[in-house]
Amino acid sequence: MIESELYQSEKKFKELLENIKSGVVIYETIDNGENFTIREMNRAGLAICEISRKEAIGKNLTELFPKIDEFGFIDALRRVWKTGKSEHSPTALYKDDRVHSWTEMYTYKLPSGKVATIFETQTKQIEAEELFESKQLLEMTLNSLHHSIFILNAEIPPRIIKCNPSCEKTFGYHQEEFMNQTTAFLHIDNDSLKEFQNYLYPEIERSGYIQNFEYKMKRKDGSIFPTEHSIIPLNNKQGERIGWVSVVSDISERKIVEQRLRESEEKYRKAYYQANLYRDIFAHDINNILQNISSSVELSSLYIHNPEKLGTIKELYEIIDEQVNRAKKLILNMGKITELDESEIILEKMDANRVLEKAIEFLQSSFQTRTINIHLNTPTKRNYVYANNLLLDVFENILINAVRHNNKSKIEITIDISKEEKKDKDYIKMQFKDNGVGISDSRKKTIFERGTLKRQKSKGMGLGLSLVKKIVDIYNGDIWVEDRIPGDYKQGSNFIILIPSNH
């Protein structure tokens, strides 16, 4: 991992690359591991291979070393590239017309997708871990990285034996405060540490390392922040654990950006959905309104010269006037439901009885040609709730639906008001019972959903009940519908509203 970070810092990496005694070559494949092209080779590697930089860089491995298949290295290279697991190729003889050398290789896959090989002739064998043991290389590596790097021993629990300057910036401690300490003081608490260890050890056993594991840690000032961990065990030639390398990245800024992106995405997805929904519902309802007006105008033109039809013409004009009012109400509802999506709602103490009286007056003036009997049963003259001026829209929509969905000559609406306690909270309960066409059980489940369009023959306001549901939700209340006569929905509906009481 330290080698991969060095590769990301090209200048420092190349400086180190040119001064180490081992040969290092970096390969890249563009055909899923079939062929590998040499992208970089250090001075020692060029000398071992007896080749110039110009002859090596950009060349296909098998063209430059035609006997590489017989050497067995190309298969190891493909395995490392495909699996990401490092491999050691023991000393073997490579021989062609140009090169004759006993060579030992260590091959690693870099985060960039390229593959690096460290190799030496038999007289200069240096194992891969000696790169880590080189104090100069390790110091330069650690000090050049922006990530926090911890080197830990193999004790249980392991203790910090080395860390880079980035650890100070990330956690707020001086380097000497880290030395010979376990990492427990960097975790939020003991439970958090145990949770981390419960993930660490099984994952190391399964994969051999941990990569990009997100976890929260604690700074010296007590602040909690998100981190990303990559941990690899250090083993000797016998496979014995001799320590750990832990890379910790502070991802606070990344998390903020991710959250803002999610919020922005959600905001615009919601806006797009609402724009299309409002358009469809508005088009649906306004089309019904215009159709009713058009039909009334057409019939009026047929009767206008017939004195006997003056009464009918008057009724038709009343229908036209009613449809105009419906259009106005629809547009008003559209504006209000948009405001609910965009603005903060402030609730205040309101008398539900007084608001209900205004809604009843509006209903009776809007349907002068219908016979409407309203029975109001309330135990007190005043019933105060937490609401705002949109409460009038709630009552009006419920009452209008009770009239529009009623084919009887005499419309009966009973409004029962009572108090109810639910989950240690006081509510005003309002039941709107009508003798209309009723609502089937299947439609009861979807009638308040904003995306549900009514049938073409419906006389509803489209946005009405979805608006009612949204307003009641803002009041932290509830609304649902039952049968006026339990078990027989055709006998009418009972809309029940609960709104938190303000005594």
Give 260-316 pLDDT, tens digit per residue: 888 878 777 776 766 665 666 577 667 767 877 887 788 778 777 777 777 777 777
Report domain 146-250's class.
alpha beta
Give 102-128 pLDDT, tens digit per residue: 788 899 998 888 999 998 876 444 444
Average pLDDT, the chain: 82
pLDDT for the residue 4: 55
Give 383-393 pLDDT, tens digit per residue: 999 998 788 88
The CATH label, of 3.30.450.20, 3.90.550.10, 3.40.50.150, 2.40.50.140, for the domain at 2-131 is: 3.30.450.20
Pairing of strands 371-377, 410-422: parallel
Q: Do domains 2-131 and 146-250 have the same CATH topology?
A: yes
Give 215-242 pLDDT, tens digit per residue: 899 999 999 999 999 998 888 888 888 9
The 10 Å Cβ neighbour count of residue 410 is: 10
Letter for the amino acid at 223?
Answer: S
Give 305-355 pLDDT, tens digit per residue: 777 777 777 777 777 887 788 788 777 766 666 665 555 567 899 999 999
pLDDT for the residue 133: 54
Give 50-102 pLDDT, tens digit per residue: 889 999 999 999 888 888 888 778 888 999 999 999 998 887 778 888 777 77
Q: Which residue is it, tokens 């000090």?
A: 143
- The proportion of the chain whose per-residue pLDDT surpasses 70, expressed as a percent, equals 84
Q: Give the chain's length.
A: 503
Give the C-alpha separation, 2 to 280, whole Å. 58
Is 262 exposed, middle or buried (CB count within 10 Å of its CB: 0-12, 13-18, 19+)?
exposed
Residue range 345-503 in CATH 3.40.50.10420: no
Give 138-173 pLDDT, tens digit per residue: 677 667 778 899 999 988 889 999 888 899 999 999
Write down the pTM of the prediction. Answer: 0.42
pLDDT for the residue 367: 79
pLDDT for the residue 343: 54
Task: Show me where the domains of the chain are located.
Answer: 2-131, 146-250, 253-343, 345-503
